[in-house]
Amino acid sequence: MPELPDVTVYIEALAARIQGARLESTRLTHPFLLRTFTPPLTALQGKKVLRLRRIGKRIAIGFEADLWLVMHLMVAGRLHWFAAGARGTGRAALAYFGFDRGTLTLTEAGKKRRASLSLVEGPEALRRLDPGGLEVLEAPLERFRAQLTAESHTLKRALTDPRAFSGIGNAYSDEILHRARLSPLALSSRLDEAEIARLHAAVQGVLTEWTERLRGAAGGEFPEGVTAFREGMAVHGRFGKPCPVCGTRVQRIRYAENETNYCPRCQTQGRILADRSLSRLLKDDWPRSIEELER
């Protein structure tokens, strides 16, 4: 799922192409994609784009008449831009937005349809789409501490809860926790001051650095190949590969369709965290430490 760094770079690329542009046509090939009914999508016809902003992991495009088109790409949704005069618009898309400068399309890989569009009018309707999480890049340590410790959850859950923290998902939470040298299963209410400070620094450092890296990789072009698995990540998507800090094999906890990746030496004092499915299957044969894993 595109997270804060990816969404930020998407918005910058869109702003360079459609801010001030006029929307001339819209076409949905899957009506389920649009989750609102009023105002109708036809209300955007002929309107200019005035501004763009990020709302958590959503992309919000502001048009004249205080209309906002809000996109949530979810896991597999991606955006593509085709300048005016381009031949074709690539693979079949769920939505086409024809501007006087080119065409923006929204595609979604796989058969599950999770991406969504919402069209709302006015600031209050837009606020209702905001989960309300803390904007972590702007938050001082004191505000971050208060939000983190307001409830007691595992750090993985706390960081990825959009009502707690804005824009962090599965991929960057793994990277943040590795940078902070903290277990994904540590409880937010039990961190000491040094650990909270490390986590705050890691959140801001990882998200800022990856935004810069993705911005540089795009090189002014529209970002393609947006993925949760990036070359240069420390642990996310690197199960079984060596940790770049200590060389220990990266481990994982799998649940539903997601997994958490971590380094047992850097983050869990050598303990192998129980995987719900495999640990139940292996029972006493489940390795509980790096030494048992290596044996």
- Give residue-wise pLDDT tens across range 156-208: 999 999 999 999 999 999 999 999 999 999 999 999 999 999 999 999 999 99
Interval 112-128 mean pLDDT = 95
> What superfamily does domain 4-127 belong to in CATH?
MutM-like, N-terminal (3.20.190.10)
Q: Three-class SS of residue 95?
A: strand
The residue ranges of every structural domain in the chain are: 4-127, 141-294
CATH of 141-294, one of 3.40.50.300, 1.10.8.50, 1.10.286.10, 1.20.1250.20: 1.10.8.50
Interval 112-137 mean pLDDT = 95
Neighbours of 29 (CB within 10 A): 12
Cα distance between residue 81 and residue 107, in whole Å = 11
Closest by CA position to 176, among listed 104, 70, 267: 267
Q: What is the pLDDT of residues 141-161, one digit of tens each?
A: 999 999 999 999 999 999 999
Assigned token pair, 263: 């380094």
Q: In what order do the strands lie in the sheet with 102-108?
A: 23-28, 95-99, 102-108, 77-83
- Rounded percentage of the chain residues whose pLDDT exceeds 70: 93
